[in-house]
Amino acid sequence: MNNRLEIIQNIVRERKIRSQDELTRLLAAHGIKTTQATLSRDFKKLGITKRRDARGSSYYTLPEPERTQQAVLFSNSRAGESIVSLDISGQLCVVKTLPGCANMAGALVDEHEHPAVMGTIAGDDTLLLMLRKGYAKVDILAFLEELIPNPSALLINKND
């Protein structure tokens, strides 16, 4: 990894960086000149996202290693074998999994950051995907097909 990326990781890990301008100034203090476009590419490469603290202020954060690792393990395993059924109605998609697999399925869905998915909630064997307005059953099935083989075969209500 190049020096700039390592320095960005260290700064984001150690401080609550609230803007790219703030990070640009801190990088300049380390002798690194950069642009907003370069920082955006670096953020994507490093998996840096924005979070909100308890007061509602946003700041940049690195991905959680455990969650990312779980998603990679789940996606590299036979993810489709862990999904028992799918039920889609309106803007909700209920995914039933084998016991203990819903969190990993949720992490995998979250990692893909598909625009149709507003959010996920996972229990032990059930994952709820909340879909954004304007997206339909066909859109979520197309997305799920990237993750598991033949999701249509797992649908409970195929006529909806």
Closest among 122, 136, 10 to 71, alpha carbons compared: 122
pLDDT of 40 > 90? The answer is no
| Domain 3-61 and domain 65-154 have a common topology | no
Tokens (6 digits) for 27 = 């990088």
Q: Where are the domains of the chain?
A: 3-61, 65-154
Please identify which residue in the block is written with the tokens 């893909």: 112
pLDDT, one tens digit per residue, over 83-92 is: 889 999 999 9
Its pTM stands at: 0.54
The pLDDT value given to residue 58: 86
Tokens (6 digits) for 69 = 């690792």
CATH class of 3-61: mainly alpha
Assign domain 65-154 to its CATH architecture: 2-Layer Sandwich (3.30)
pLDDT of 33 > 80? The answer is yes
63-72, 78-87, 128-137: least confident range: 63-72
The pLDDT value given to residue 127: 94
Please identify which residue in the block is written with the tokens 């642009």: 35
β-pair type (83-89, 92-97): antiparallel
Closest among 117, 121, 122, 158 to 140, alpha carbons compared: 117
Q: 82 and 105 in contact (C-beta within 8 Å)?
A: yes
- Rounded distance between C-alpha atoms, residue 32 and residue 117, angstroms: 37
Tokens (6 digits) for 21 = 């301008």
- Rounded distance between C-alpha atoms, residue 106 and residue 108, angstroms: 5
pLDDT, one tens digit per residue, over 115-157 is: 899 999 999 899 999 999 999 899 888 888 877 778 888 898 7
Q: 71 and 64 in contact (C-beta within 8 Å)?
A: no
Average pLDDT, integer, range 103-116: 84
Please identify which residue in the block is written with the tokens 């489709």: 80
Half-sphere exposure at residue 69, Cβ-oriented, CA atoms within 13 angstroms: 3
